[in-house]
A and B are shown apart, each in its own frame.
Chain A
Amino acid sequence: MSLLEIRNVAKSFGAIRAVNGISLTVGAGEVIGLMGDNGAGKSTMVKLIAGNFPPTEGEIMVDGKTCHFHKPIEARAQGIEVVYQDLALADNLTAAQNVFLGRELKKRVGPFLILDKQAMIDRSAALFAELQSETRPRDLVRKMSGGQRQAVAIARTRLANAKLVLMDEPTAAISVRQVAQVLALIERMKAKGVSVMLISHRMPDVFAVCDRIVVMRRGSKVADKQTAQTSPEEITGLITGAIRAA
């Protein structure tokens, strides 16, 4: 049984059909690359899985159970976490504060329920160590490099022991060295048995870490191939439409 199974999912916004009957499976510990040109429907696909809105048609199944997500928090309850393209970090807070944002640990002191800062710092430090990141819990996110920010956003997904992490363009706006860090983070998540769906434009990154590559064009799936059995040339052809399907 696959971790995530999508059956004939479609999504329309008024007259626009953004996603048109897509079926897809993600196994446990599998890293999948989702590729496609701008407007191919990748973002809509991510939002469907992440629970931002329900599909117009079709089914999304997690661990064999059909799910109807209306809010991201519902998808999160099923172990699906998203690392957004802008990372959704508050610059003015520290790494630990960002990791626990919205789900702070608290402790009881007399009649009050107050923040358990030390526990949050310790837990974040453990998560960063697990991700082998040099990020420190008390550092302000504002002063961090792109790779460190990614580590904070990924640590957030590890907090709830996510089964599937969707990463939207994690390597789009960072330096070469940081790209290597982020790809290493993905490898480590995979080693922990976490499935990753990597949405990216960057061919080399996808080929470096993904087991399987799914290509979308104009709302439809045009390819779903093992990375070892395809090539950047073929994928490029599929994305642009030079190769119709594979």
Chain B
Amino acid sequence: MQPDTAVSIPERPVQPDGVLHSAADHAHIADVAQLRESTLLRAVLTSQPFWVTIALLILVVVMSLTEPSFASVDNVANITRNFAPFGIMALGMTIVIITGGIDLSVGSVMGLVSIVAGLFLTWGHSWVVAFAMGFLTGILCGAVNGFFVAYVGMPSFVVTLGMLAIARSLAVVFSGNQMLYKFGPSAPTVKAIGQFKWPLREASGGWAPEWMPEFSGQFWAMLALGALVGAVFIFSAWARHLFAIGGNENAARLTGVPVNRIKWQAFVFCSFCASLAALLMLGYNGSAINAMGTGYELRVIAATVIGGAELLGGAGTAFGAIIGSALLEVIRNALLMAGIDSNWQGAFVGAFIVLAVLLGMQSGGKSIFANLWDRLKTLGK
């Protein structure tokens, strides 16, 4: 082979100086590609939770002006208590959805947890034992879900659909299809936990002024859990791995992220949240029914998605989970106050889900309208 044949090879333009570094002759890449670093302001303005918060504020202002009783201290306490269990569950759901999974079993897990805890109370055990068994049952459900999804590799939709049926069925069987309410010696403590309020107004023996709502224990529990999850999202490597799994599971695996373990933990945490919500509701109601949480999975998923979690994985926030739950409850409450037949609620809630996701769609830095226009143009071709 003649050495000169090598010379005849067309040279690739490997002159980095010509290609990359003549900043004077070339426009900066940011000007051309509209590439902008994700600054804080931009991150806020393009985030769905931000716009959902705006929508929530508008709704609250309009309702307060048109319906005086809406902004009353009692109604505020009422609304915040009603959505707290959903907010708690939405936090867990957000974590599962970030990994690209879904948990359809949360409602049924609630039912099973409340029956198990209710049974232990009925048998005269202390509330500590009952709640511990409740949490254990819920966490076990999550561990089973997580095992089949993370380690066996089954789709989470199928696994948790199975758990939805199994947990509800077990709840019915264990309860003998009876409502449990004779809670033995721990009954007052359980009720005190479920109906805890803070701060108390003077009328209830506290110090708070008349204009301050007496926020429920559920609400405070949700805020505490929300702060915890938010902190984990911001500060921990665990959460970063969670997002990486949702973005590109294979990449996460190749870079040494313990993908299976983290996915399993996500499902366990989601069921833990459902258990917490169930036990708080059990305490508030002072009774356990096997139908607790029926259909809640849809509201929780709706709240999570409205709050900006991406069903395909890789995006979601703690704040979004809570604000999404709040928006759904305020809509529900507003409809009730406006005297609209409660059968219409589903239609409104459904429309809001679609609307919220539509408003949040700002893919590629373009507004939803620009995207819609582009899509119409491509359809026309």
Chain A residues with CB under 8 Å of chain B are: 72-73, 76, 82, 84, 86-94, 97, 101-104, 106, 112, 114-115, 132-134, 136, 138-140, 143-145, 156, 177, 179-181, 183-184, 187-188, 204-205, 207-209, 227-234
In whole Å, how far is B33's beta carbon from the nearest beta carbon of chain A? 7
CB nearest neighbor in B for A208: B12
| Contact residue among A102, A133, A205, A229 (Cβ-Cβ distance under 8 Å from B1) | A229
| Contact residue among B8, B21, B237 (Cβ-Cβ distance under 8 Å from A106) | B237
What separation, in Å, do the CA atoms of A86 and B246 have in the docked complex? 16
- On whether the beta carbons of A90 and B21 are closer than 8 Å, the reply is no
B343 within 8 A of A: no
Report the stretch among B76-84, B104-112, B250-258, B294-302 that lies at the interface.
B250-258
- On whether the beta carbons of A187 and B14 are closer than 8 Å, the reply is yes
Contact flags B249-275 to A (C-beta < 8 A → 1, else 0): 011101111000000000000000000
CB nearest neighbor in B for A205: B12
What separation, in Å, do the CA atoms of A240 and B237 have in the docked complex? 48
- On whether the beta carbons of B1 and A230 are closer than 8 Å, the reply is yes
- On whether the beta carbons of B14 and A184 are closer than 8 Å, the reply is yes
B10 within 8 A of A: yes
In whole Å, how far is A229's beta carbon from the nearest beta carbon of chain B? 6
CB nearest neighbor in A for B254: A88
What separation, in Å, do the CA atoms of A185 and B284 have in the docked complex? 63
- On whether the beta carbons of B38 and A101 are closer than 8 Å, the reply is no
Contact flags B307-326 to A (C-beta < 8 A → 1, else 0): 00000001100000000000
Interface of A is mostly: mixed
- On whether the beta carbons of B6 and A90 are closer than 8 Å, the reply is no
Interface centre among B1, B15, B315 (most CB of A within 10 A): B1
| Contact residue among A92, A138, A144, A227 (Cβ-Cβ distance under 8 Å from B247) | A92
| Contact residue among B12, B38, B235 (Cβ-Cβ distance under 8 Å from A180) | B12
In whole Å, how far is A98's beta carbon from the nearest beta carbon of chain B? 8
Chain B residues with CB under 8 Å of chain A are: 1, 3, 5-6, 8-16, 19-21, 29, 33, 35, 37-38, 235-237, 240-241, 243-244, 246-248, 250-252, 254-257, 314-315, 364-365
Residues of B within 8 A of A136 (CB): 37
Residues of A within 8 A of B244 (CB): 90, 93, 97, 101
Do A139 and B12 contact each other (CB < 8 Å), given the known contacts A84-B254, A90-B244, A132-B21?
no
| Contact residue among B9, B250, B256 (Cβ-Cβ distance under 8 Å from A86) | B250
What separation, in Å, do the CA atoms of A229 and B12 have in the docked complex? 18
Do A184 and B236 contact each other (CB < 8 Å), given the known contacts A102-B252, A227-B6, A231-B6?
no
Interface centre among A156, A188, A231 (most CB of B within 10 A): A231
- On whether the beta carbons of B37 and A115 are closer than 8 Å, the reply is no
- On whether the beta carbons of A138 and B6 are closer than 8 Å, the reply is no
What separation, in Å, do the CA atoms of A204 and B73 have in the docked complex? 74
Do A232 and B9 contact each other (CB < 8 Å), given the known contacts A88-B250, A102-B255?
yes
In whole Å, how far is A205's beta carbon from the nearest beta carbon of chain B? 7
What separation, in Å, do the CA atoms of A90 and B256 have in the docked complex? 13
Do A115 and B315 contact each other (CB < 8 Å), given the known contacts A93-B244, A139-B37?
no
- On whether the beta carbons of B20 and A90 are closer than 8 Å, the reply is no
CB nearest neighbor in A for B37: A138
Residues of A within 8 A of B21 (CB): 132
- On whether the beta carbons of B236 and A115 are closer than 8 Å, the reply is yes
Additional pairs, 13, CB under 8 Å, beyond known A72-B256, A91-B314, A134-B20: A88-B248, A93-B240, A93-B247, A94-B38, A102-B241, A102-B255, A112-B235, A115-B240, A143-B365, A183-B12, A207-B6, A208-B11, A229-B3
